[in-house]
A and B are shown apart, each in its own frame.
Chain A
């Protein structure tokens, strides 16, 4: 067996949370290993920011360029940044298995910060598996990493990212054909009560209003209070159908970009058997954390959107707080200095959290996306419909892990990343159980595909 590399602090993920954690640790003179699966740092939010062009910077805006304030500080001797590192196993004793270019390696951290961010919430509407149907985030990645944009796209769903992407497409001279918005009048009414608190983060709300103004000036059609969304086409996307304000609409297009917000990526926290709780406002499971990132296991902390969705700036503060916690655990910094920095960072973090309940309520995912009609595919990999799950219930299927045995739902290559929440939601509704009672898929290693030769390389 090859040796296991010992490390003080290991951080998984080089998005805003992971980068801020690494920089904080280095500021205190502490060495840190930063593992990331992408070729360059930034996470999805600052994807490819180190290789951006002048034109892309202009289109993506100053919030994107802010990523370089973090990436520029990674180049210091205390930060051992390892790109293209695919983490495929993490054990509760702090041992991590990862591969770089088919060579597997093991490292053990005395302290580990999980900063693996978020995934787009699954939006299982009819036709969402057709070529041409993508997540809104996927097209942002195409824009950031390759300068590519779809020429005939309709944006459908709810959430700030939908407007941000629309504005970026407008700036690039490739505007979307339309925006189909699923938030209903009742969502605005429910969200209103959180508006006074949200005003505490007025720069964020101001940004949102400016995006909406930009879209209005460009004359992009917006269909509000939409529902019954269906993507049409037999071998690829040919159009989108929906109701808006009680009227039926059809738009011809070859690309539909879906978005209903993002949800924590809990693959590693689930793999570690850490406890999770249902977050009713964010409609997803979040790992249980205390003192800004500490989990049930004293070795592991979670920073950023992986601990609950708060956005990129909050992730930065959380990353810093987790690093300070870790330094405390390792006895690597002066207690009073750490406490001062903690209290300053906490204030900044609290400001970032203020707009969250307002945004979560206003852009709450609609029922048709959470628990879709029975003929809609929910497991993209194994092509299992919502109806197939519902049919299993009278046969004694009460938990997500049983749906695997009954239908192979969640057993394809994505390992339940894109059907897990939907399966929990359907079972909760049909059995009239709380989401926490239904639970989630049991995640097992390897969480990324590994070849036999990769496994064998551990013994070289």
Chain B
């Protein structure tokens, strides 16, 4: 999916990292919005079948945008992308079986 910004980033730009890769965002963006805008296709893979997922509802209901910050799973659409934040893909996996 490709997104376009209707307004220039200009001096509004901040950066954070996703799995070590530098992501540029507008100040005030949620992590989910910033990852989608940066062209990250799959933000996680499901613990059940390993299928690719990305933000779906953007309002904190579907939990498909889960990422990790400091080892804690958070909803990327409910978390502001702050400068210097280190965000990781979730490592949740099917360990019950």
Contact = CB atoms under 8 A, between A and B. Distances in A.
Given A55-B6, A142-B33, A382-B48, A134 B59 contact: no
A390 to B, nearest CB: 19
Interface string A103-130: 0000000000000000110000000011
B62 A148 contact: no
B63 interface: yes
Contact of B61 (A51, A119, A129, A143): A119
Contacts of A235: 41-42, 52
B36 interface: yes
A19 to B, nearest CB: 17
A328 interface: no
A37 B60 contact: yes
B28 to A, nearest CB: 7
A147 B29 CA distance: 9
Contacts of B52: 130-131, 235-236
Contact of B58 (A39, A51, A141, A451): A141
Contacts of A265: 61
Interface of B: 1-7, 26, 28-30, 33-34, 36-37, 41-43, 46, 48-49, 51-64, 66, 72-73, 77-78, 80
Contacts of B59: 44, 119, 137-138, 141
B81 to A, nearest CB: 10
Given A131-B41, A235-B42, A413 B56 contact: no
B58 A383 contact: no
Contacts of A172: 6
A129 B55 contact: no
A311 interface: no
B61 A147 contact: no
A370 B59 CA distance: 22
8 contacts: A39-B80, A51-B28, A119-B59, A145-B33, A148-B3, A148-B4, A151-B4, A417-B61
B58 A137 contact: yes
A371 interface: no
Which secondary structure characterizes the binding site on chain B?
Answer: loop
Nearest to A122: B62
Given A129-B64, A134-B58, A148-B3, 12 more contacts: A37-B78, A55-B6, A129-B53, A135-B57, A139-B58, A142-B3, A142-B36, A147-B26, A149-B6, A152-B2, A236-B1, A383-B46
A124 B16 CA distance: 34
A367 B43 CA distance: 31
Nearest to B48: A383
Nearest to B29: A146
A254 B1 contact: yes
Nearest to B40: A131
A417 B6 contact: no
Contacts of A383: 46, 48-49, 51
A344 B57 CA distance: 37
Contacts of B72: 451
Contacts of B43: 131
A236 to B, nearest CB: 5
B58 to A, nearest CB: 4
Given A146-B28, A148-B37, A418-B62, A138 B3 contact: no
Q: Enumerate the 10 nearest inter-chain pairs by beta-carbon distance, A residue then B residue, closest first.
A: A131-B54, A413-B63, A138-B58, A132-B1, A141-B58, A146-B33, A255-B1, A383-B48, A147-B6, A414-B63
Among B4, B5, B29, B58, chain A packs the most CB atoms within 10 A around the CB of: B58
